[in-house]
Amino acid sequence: MTPAARLSAAIEVLGDIAGRRRPAADALKDWGLAHRFAGSGDRAAIASLVYDALRRRASAAWIMGEDTPRAVLIGSLRLQRGLASPTIAALLTGERFAPPPLTQDERERLDTASLADAPPHIAGDVPDWVLPSLAGALGADLLAELRALARRAPLDIRVNSLKVAREAVREALAHLAPEPTPHAPCGLRVPIGEDGRGPALHVEPEFLEGWFEIQDEGSQLAAGLAGAVPGATVVDLCAGGGGKTLALAALMRNEGRLVATDDDPRRLAPIHERLRRSGAAAEVRTPRGGRGRADVMADLDGQADLVLVDAPCTGSGTWRRNPDAKWRLRPGSLATRVAEQHAVLDRAARLLKPGGRLAYVTCSLLPEENDDAVTGLLVRRGDLAVAPLDLPPSLAAATRRTRHGLQMTPATTGTDGFYVAGLVLRGS
C-alpha cells in the first residue's frame, strides 16, 4: 500500500471506531480481515496512524474545525507527526486510493489554526468531565502532564534477574540499541521508529529464552516498591497476565511462597506460559466462574507478609498506550471501578498477618481511584496505617508525592501514570 492509501484506510478505521463506539484494536482487526491484501507492515502503519489520531482527537478536531475522521487524521498529521500543509497536501491527492485533496479551508486551518485559546481539555486531549479530577491530581502541571500523556509511550523491557544480568541482555540486543531505564534497576528502553512502532521483541531469541519481559518502567517500579523479599509469603491478588508476578518472583529470588490469583480467571490465561519461560516460581490459583464460587484464597487469611493489589482501574495513566480508552470512559465506568477497588482492598487486608504489608497500585491518575481509595480503607480498617515507600534516589527526586503514596507520570518520571501506596497491619 502507498502512504496515501494507508491514510485512506486509517480514516475508514476511525470512522468505524466513532460510528460503532468500539475499541480501536477490534476495528483494526476487522479492517485487516476484510483487506487481506494488506501486509503486516501496512497494518502496523495504519494502526500507528489511527492511534496517533486518537491521542490527539480533541486538539486535532479543534484546529481543523470539525470532529470527523478525516479532520482528526489530518489534524493529527500536523500535531503529532509535525507535517506541514504542503507535505500533507502531497499525500491527499484523490488519485487512486488516496483521500480527496485538501480543501481551501483545510489548508488555511493547517497553516493558521492554533491551540493557544483552546480550553484545557481540548489542548490536553481528555474528556471534559474528567478534567476536575485530573486537575486535583496534577495541579499547576495539568496541561504539561496532559500533553505528555498524549505523546507516544516508550518501549521498555524488564530483564529477568533470575536468569541473566541487565548488561548481558543489553549486549545481546545491541542491534536494537537499548539503554538503561532512568529509574528501574532491571529496565532497558528500546528506541522506537518515527512512526511510533518498535521492533518485534517477542521473536527475539532472548525473549523466547525468558531473559526479559516487555513491561513499562512504571510497572517495574511499582512491583519493586511493594517490598517483596526472599523467604516471604507474598500474594499477587490481581495478577492478571502475570507481569508483576514475574517481577515479584525475581525480587524474591524464588525463595519463599508466591501465590498469584485474579478475580477474572480469563485474565490469568497467559501467566502459565510466562512462568515457564521465565523460570519464576509461583502458585497460581484460578477461581471458578459462577455465583457462590469458593474463595480460593481463604486458607491464606492472616498469613501474608505482603499482598500486592494491582487494582482494576480506568487505566487513565496508560492513555498514551491506549488512547481510545479515554474517549470510551464514562462516569459510570469510574464508579464501577471504585466499587471494585473497595472490595479488593477489603479482601487484601484480610490476608495480612500482623506486621504484614499491603501495596496498593493502580495505573490511574484519578484521585478517586488512588488516595481516596486508600482513605476509605483506612476508615474501614482502623488497624491499618500508611507505611513509607523505599524509593530509589532518582525516583524520589522525580516523583509526585500524594497524601498517602506517590504518583508517577509521563512528564515527571517518563513512565505510565502509576500510583503506589503502602499500608501495614498493626501488630496485635
Phi-psi domain of 309 (left: phi exceeds 0; alpha: psi -120 through 50; beta: other):
beta
pLDDT of residue 427: 77
The rounded distance, in Å, linking the Cα atoms of 121 and 296 is 43
**Mean pLDDT, 10 residues at a time, the chain of 428 residues:** 94 94 94 91 93 96 96 96 94 92 96 94 95 94 94 96 97 97 96 86 96 97 96 97 96 97 93 96 88 83 97 95 93 94 97 97 97 97 94 88 96 96 89
CATH 3.30.70.1170 domain residues, the chain: 155-214
pLDDT of residue 234: 98
CATH class of residue range 155-214: alpha beta
Taking only the tens place, the pLDDT of each residue in 340-351 is 999 999 999 999
Q: Strand 233-236 vs strand 304-310: parallel, antiparallel, or unpaired?
A: parallel
pLDDT of residue 386: 97
The rounded distance, in Å, linking the Cα atoms of 341 and 428 is 26
**Residue 56 near residue 121, CB atoms below 8 Å:** no
Q: Please state the pTM of the whole predicted model.
A: 0.94
The rounded distance, in Å, linking the Cα atoms of 117 and 112 is 13
CATH 3.40.50.150 domain residues, the chain: 217-425
pLDDT of residue 292: 60
Q: Which three cell numbers stand for residue 117?
A: 485559546
pLDDT of residue 290: 61
pLDDT of residue 291: 62
- Of 186, 238, 313, 363, the catalytic one is 363
Taking only the tens place, the pLDDT of each residue in 235-292 is 999 999 999 999 999 999 999 999 999 999 999 999 999 999 999 999 999 998 666 6
The rounded distance, in Å, linking the Cα atoms of 374 and 377 is 5
- CB count in 10 Å sphere of residue 250: 23
Answer yes or no: 186 catalytic.
Answer: no
262 is in an annotated binding site: yes
- Cα 410 to Cα 51, 197, 267, distances in angstroms: 17, 18, 26
Query: What is the Rg, in whole angstroms, of the alpha carbon atoms belonging to the chain?
Result: 23
Beta strands in 96-197 (DSSP E): 155-159, 179-180, 187-190
The rounded distance, in Å, linking the Cα atoms of 203 and 210 is 11
125 is in an annotated binding site: no
Query: Cα(first)–Cα(last) distance of the chain, in Å?
Result: 68
Fold annotation for 217-425:
Rossmann fold (3.40.50)
- CB count in 10 Å sphere of residue 279: 15
